[in-house]
Amino acid sequence: MTATIEPEVRMGKRARAKEANRKAILEAARVVFARIGYEATNIRDIIRETDLASGTFYNYFKSKEEVFEALANDSVARFRPLLQKVREEAKDLESYLYAAFSAYFTFLAEENDDAIQGGAPHMSLIGVRVDTPEMQTVSEEIAADLEIVMDKVGLGKLDIDYITAAAIGMAREMGDHMLQRRPVDPKGATEFAAKFTLAGIEELAKSSH
């Protein structure tokens, strides 16, 4: 009995150690990206922020690009439940847009709060902005949501793909600028983005008649 349990215990410890190492690398990368910027960061910078040996990095990631993508995918995974809540609670197009923009801008501010509070000269900008399969899924979910709420108000004939791309693109760019402002103002960003998008949709609706 002991002979069968001990290998399982060792495997469990090994798995936990691997997960801890991977997490340490990701957290270090987030700190370094915020401190000196993504472009200036190299793998040595990330490893120096941990207690790991330099070669350990390559047991988990091939490049800093993979680290960035992993951070982004993790953020997407944590953002999706917020979007699900928006979907469940929105009653019309206006409430959906306000809630969706608010969820994103608030999430982005919270993701970067440590860097902001620490006075980092560069924001890590690890939001939902990398074009990964996970992000593509989120984009498709938003397009489906918009199609549903716009159908309800008789705007289903408008170009949902363009509207979705415009809304996501604006959120990304505004999110970048929001993080560089002081104080960081998710509420103000939400108001601007939602009103801007609603006004644009109203103009499209008028011109389509």
Ramachandran region, residue 119 (left: φ > 0; alpha: ψ -120 to 50; beta: rest): left
Q: What is the 3-state secondary structure (H, E, C) of the chain?
A: CHHHHHHHHHHHHHHHHHHHHHHHHHHHHHHHHHHHCCCCCCHHHHHHCCCCCHHHHHHCCCCHHHHHHHHHHHHHHHHHHHHHHHHHHCCCHHHHHHHHHHHHHHHHHHHCHHHHHCCCCCCCCCCCCCCCHHHHHHHHHHHHHHHHHHHHCCCCCCCHHHHHHHHHHHHHHHHHHHHHCCCCCHHHHHHHHHHHHHHHHHHHHHHHC
63-85: per-residue pLDDT in tens?
999 998 898 888 888 999 999 99
* Overall average pLDDT of the 89-102 stretch: 95
CB 199 within 8 A of CB 167: no
Closest CA to 30 of 82, 76, 74: 74
Fold of 76-208: Tetracycline Repressor; domain 2 (1.10.357)
pLDDT at residue 15, as a whole number: 83
Closest CA to 160 of 147, 141, 142, 173: 147
pLDDT at residue 124, as a whole number: 46
pTM for the whole structure: 0.81
pLDDT at residue 62, as a whole number: 94
Structural element, H or E, at residue 49? none
Amino acid identity, residue 15? A
Tokens of 169: 């693109």
Listed in order, the ranges of the chain carrying CATH 1.10.357 are 76-208
Q: How many CB atoms lie within 10 A of CB 43?
A: 18
CATH number of 1-62, picked from 1.10.10.60, 3.40.50.1010, 3.40.50.300, 1.20.120.1200: 1.10.10.60
Place 128 in a pLDDT band, splitting at 50, 70 and 90: very low
142-190: per-residue pLDDT in tens?
999 999 999 988 998 999 999 999 999 999 999 988 988 889 999 999 9
Place 45 in a pLDDT band, splitting at 50, 70 and 90: very high
Listed in order, the ranges of the chain carrying CATH 1.10.10.60 are 1-62
